[in-house]
Amino acid sequence: MNSLFHSKATKSECLLRERIFNVLPAASFQMDRLLQLLDIVESDRSPTACVECSHQPRLHLNPQFVAECCPNDEDLFMLVMHELYHIILGHTRLFPRATRLHNFVFDAVINSMLCQQFRDPVYTRFFQKLNPWDASPGRLLAPPPGWPDNPATLPPGTSRAERRAVKLLYGEHHESTTYLDVFNALAKCLSEKKLRASGIPIVLLGDHSGKSHNGNEDESAIANEALRQVIRKVVEGWPPPPNPIAGRDEGRDPSDFFLSSNASATPAFLRALGQLLRRAGVLKPGDSRSPRSWKQLTRTRDVQTVLPQLRDRRAAAWKQLTGNQPLFYQGILAQQQRRLAPQETAHAYLDVSGSMTQLLPMLGRGLDRPHRKGEVCLFAFSTVVDAFSPKRPLAKQSVKNTFGTEINCVLNHLVNIPARNCPKRVLIITDGYTGPPQHELLTQLKERGIRFYIGLTGDNVSNELQPVAHHIEHLPEPET
């Protein structure tokens, strides 16, 4: 076990690593690999914990907080997992400007995810000790006493919005909850002003430094590619949660995925989808969709003419040398021609990640016909891109799916298409939880003149694709 410890660690820091490693579920969560890749040190850099980007990435644990609030190894394990989830889920980038309310919601969602993963009281008690049940809004940061078998009821007079928030976090159907579901519920019973004036001490875990406690350390950690790779190596070995809260993640190894064929879409949804396809240059009225069409082309060729040509710079030099105008001028003749050329086909990228699962059957049904007629070239994307074949129905072919979401895999896919074959119109259908696009990729695609048309599905959507979009359309949620 000596390989787990760095040579410069103090005795107390070695003890911290040993406590994390020895906790019961640590082996299944690759804590030994975490301790090899991520240095763990004691410091007051954060009131609780934070991750620092450096040549050797470090997890800073506040020794005073650990001594007071983490007497058990399970407590320390939950603190470390909470901070890792802040980095993994990229909460500092979910909203353009994170506020105190956003951070409260982030912590509430993370604590719920961890409690759903580790349901034994020895783990959930850590959050319950920090934020007692009898004080609002702090009780939203911990499961109810007696949860999950016999959860306590909320006190009389609790607002309807707060009851809904608790149900979303710790109710029977928590697995379908998204970050925005919780945020919208809490926003109805809380406000920035009320959160500051509550007078009740609220313990938020992880890094909440910077303006509005928006997590400066976490922001730099998420942006650091080296640290992201360290975290990815650790997370790849984690077992998937039995009932995960829906939202964006970085996926897992690609597996075969089939769109369900047992679905029908409402007329309103099909009309909205058709309108979006027409905006993106698909389903043009009156278009026979022949693979080739007549196009007007302009061809130029060099000619000699007796008519003076302003573009002939040789004429001015000739006059200066000889004192006479030249007899012939060099000109360019433009000729209009019509010829058959291949139809330009828009590319469509369909988000097949976990948060889109319930919507995919209806979307597949709506896109199957235009794809098979060659009206659109259809791809599936999660954190990888895979192509659908137009020769078979969508529901009868498999595509690769990691069940995560990452828009940059789409942008990379387009960048790697030769410029002469690259589409000028690109349609992306998603719920918007795609992560921020890389500036370098966007710059290359803008130079090619590509226009992005975004179809957003579902009740709650993210605005992460606004920097990409030429047009955004909200599609009505399909009904079965």
In angstroms, the CA 190 to CA 212 distance is 16
Its CATH class, for the domain covering 256-288+344-474, is: alpha beta
pTM of the model: 0.53
In angstroms, the CA 175 to CA 198 distance is 30
CA separation, residue 312 to residues 316, 320, 348, 409 (Å): 8, 14, 47, 48
What is the residue type of 145? P
> In sequence order, what E strands does 18-90 have?
39-42, 49-52, 58-61
CA separation, residue 209 to residues 53, 131, 137, 204, 229 (Å): 15, 20, 21, 11, 24
Bridge partners of 244? none
Sequence-ordered list of residues with C-beta below 8 angstroms from that of 220, at least 6 positions apart, any chain: 53
Closest CA to 476 of 375, 381, 359, 368: 359
Bridge partners of 376? 346
CB 131 within 8 A of CB 203: yes
Instruction: Tell me the domain boundaries of the chain.
Output: 2-245, 256-288+344-474, 292-342
Residue 251 corresponds to which tokens in the numbers above? 């996926």
The number of beta carbons lying within 10 Å of the beta carbon of residue 464 is 21
Coil/strand/helix, residue 258? strand
Match 């710059």 to its residue by tokens. 443
CB 413 within 8 A of CB 386: no
One digit per residue, pLDDT tens: the chain, 480 residues? Answer: 334 444 466 788 788 878 877 775 656 676 777 777 777 888 888 888 888 776 677 888 888 999 999 998 889 889 888 888 877 776 655 555 567 777 788 888 888 888 888 888 999 999 999 888 887 778 888 999 998 888 888 888 888 888 888 888 888 765 555 666 677 777 777 766 666 655 567 788 876 666 655 566 666 766 666 676 667 666 666 665 555 544 455 555 566 666 665 556 577 877 888 888 888 877 554 444 444 445 566 777 787 777 777 777 777 777 777 878 777 778 777 777 766 444 567 889 998 876 676 677 778 877 888 888 878 889 999 888 999 888 888 878 888 888 778 888 999 999 999 888 888 889 999 877 777 788 888 888 888 889 999 988 865 456 678 888 888 888 886 554
In angstroms, the CA 334 to CA 316 distance is 23
The DSSP line for 295-320 is: EEEEEEEEEEESS--TT-HHHHHHHH
CA separation, residue 289 to residues 73, 282, 365 (Å): 65, 9, 20
